[in-house]
């Protein structure tokens, strides 16, 4: 029986690859996409979510737009990394469909409340939508089977340092107040940080691009174009968000540390730093923090599914 999953995303080139992986994975059923400002402004990330789903033949999956601003701090995009349109400038036509009239908060609540305890939310952007949904519906965290987050840098490996500042990962840095709300929510949580997603063994390189170029499907074509864009300006194409989704597809790819999560939310040079504390007493239930990943096995899973007909 496949697992019902919602993706809360800020596409974003790697978010787009996470959507493609979700649609190609029989372990799960992607039932909802919600969008948040992050890699680009909300209207851009929402446009991108719609056109990625349309390109991949998944117009039936509802898209609900969420927060245009972080909870407190001003919005700051990452257009530099993701291109002028936050989707690598790849040539994907606009979707003929619009986002749902429902807000992300309402859509996320309805998603979880439909089958309490059975549904998984994977968040690969700033946590503003998740935090607002938890604030509006305090019973929501317990309704989720699991919340999987791409975010943070916990110093668990040599890759576990910041990418927005020396200490902070972009998603958490973009909205540290939302992270604080989510980390304290009591939801059953797994977080995948730069500790594993910046491991070069998990990233795509030139040989992977050549393999993707040999494909002849909308999925392989989009993955190839995104990878080519990333390789123009970076040594590899990091798969931060597909790695977070992979926790739901095959948990054995990862090792985990366990403890309660802390984030430095004050607007100073430490803003966005994340810490996992193994010694904190309850009530915060311990989160699982990815501490290692089998990079080659993850890449094989990812690439084989990008290439499937
Ligand atoms: O730090 C990496 C994260 O920030 C990824 O989710 C990427 O898409 C950006 O949102
Ligand atoms: Ca993202």
Instruction: Confirm or reject: Cβ of 125 under 6 Å from ligand 1.
Output: yes
84 belongs to the catalytic site = no
Residue 182's nearest CA partner among 241, 240, 123 is 123
CA separation, residue 159 to residues 37, 137, 227, 235, 277 (Å): 26, 35, 21, 15, 19
User: Taking residues 67-80, what's their average pLDDT?
Assistant: 87
- Taking only the tens place, the pLDDT of each residue in 10-67 is 999 999 999 999 999 999 999 999 999 999 999 999 999 999 999 999 999 999 999 9
Residue 76 has what pLDDT?
84
Mutate which of 67, 130, 170 for ligand 1? The one with the most ligand atoms within 8 Å of its CB, which is: 170
User: Taking residues 135-151, what's their average pLDDT?
Assistant: 98
Q: State the pLDDT confidence band at 282, using cuts at 50, 70 and 90.
A: low
CA separation, residue 79 to residues 10, 76, 245, 286 (Å): 11, 9, 23, 34
| CATH superfamily entry for domain 3-307 | Ribonucleoside hydrolase-like (3.90.245.10)
Q: What share of the chain is helix, strand, coil (3-state, %, to 5)?
A: 40, 20, 40
Residue bearing tokens 């802390």: 262
pTM beyond cutoff 0.75:
yes
Q: Of the residues 54, 55, 97, 240, which is catalytic?
A: 240
Instruction: Confirm or reject: Cβ of 274 under 6 Å from ligand 1.
Output: no
Residue 309 has what pLDDT?
83
Residue 283 has what pLDDT?
58
Q: What is the mean pLDDT of the chain?
A: 96
Residue 280 has pLDDT above 80, yes or no: no
Q: Which ligand has the nearest atom to the CA of 151?
A: 1
Residue 156 has what pLDDT?
98
User: Taking residues 244-263, what's their average pLDDT?
Assistant: 97
Instruction: Confirm or reject: Cβ of 241 under 6 Å from ligand 1.
Output: yes
Find the 281 Cα to ligand 1 centroid distance in Å. Answer: 31
Boundaries of every domain in the chain: 3-307
Instruction: Confirm or reject: Cβ of 193 under 6 Å from ligand 1.
Output: no
């Amino acid at each position: 029986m496949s697992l019902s999953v919602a993706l809360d995303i800020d596409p974003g080139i790697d978010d787009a690859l996470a959507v493609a992986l979700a649609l190609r994975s029989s372990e799960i059923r992607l039932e909802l996409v919600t969008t948040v400002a992050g890699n680009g402004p909300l209207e851009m990330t929402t446009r991108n979510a719609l056109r990625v789903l349309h390109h991949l033949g998944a117009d039936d999956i509802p898209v609900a737009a969420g927060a245009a601003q972080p909870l407190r701090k001003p919005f700051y995009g990452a257009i530099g990394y993701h291109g002028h349109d936050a989707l690598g400038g790849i040539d994907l036509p606009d979707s003929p469909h619009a986002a749902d009239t429902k807000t992300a908060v309402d859509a996320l609540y309805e998603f979880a409340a439909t089958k309490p305890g059975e549904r998984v939310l994977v968040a690969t952007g700033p946590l503003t939508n998740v935090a607002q949904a938890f604030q509006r519906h305090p019973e929501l965290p317990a309704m989720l089977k699991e919340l999987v987050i791409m975010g943070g840098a916990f110093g668990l490996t040599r890759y576990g340092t910041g990418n927005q500042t020396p200490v902070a990962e972009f998603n958490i840095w973009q909205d540290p107040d939302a992270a604080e709300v989510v980390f304290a929510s009591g939801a059953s949580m797994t977080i995948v940080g730069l500790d594993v997603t910046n491991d070069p063994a998990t990233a795509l390189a030139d040989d992977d691009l050549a393999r993707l170029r040999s494909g002849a499907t909308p999925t392989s074509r989009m993955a190839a174009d995104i990878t080519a864009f990333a390789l123009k300006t970076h040594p590899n194409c990091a798969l931060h968000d597909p790695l977070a989704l992979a926790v739901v597809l095959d948990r054995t790819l990862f090792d985990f540390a366990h403890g309660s999560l802390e984030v430095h939310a004050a607007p100073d040079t430490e803003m966005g730093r994340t810490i996992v504390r193994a010694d904190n007493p309850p009530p915060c239930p311990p989160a699982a923090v990815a501490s290692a990943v089998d990079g080659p096995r993850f890449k094989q899973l990812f690439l084989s599914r990008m290439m499937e007909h």
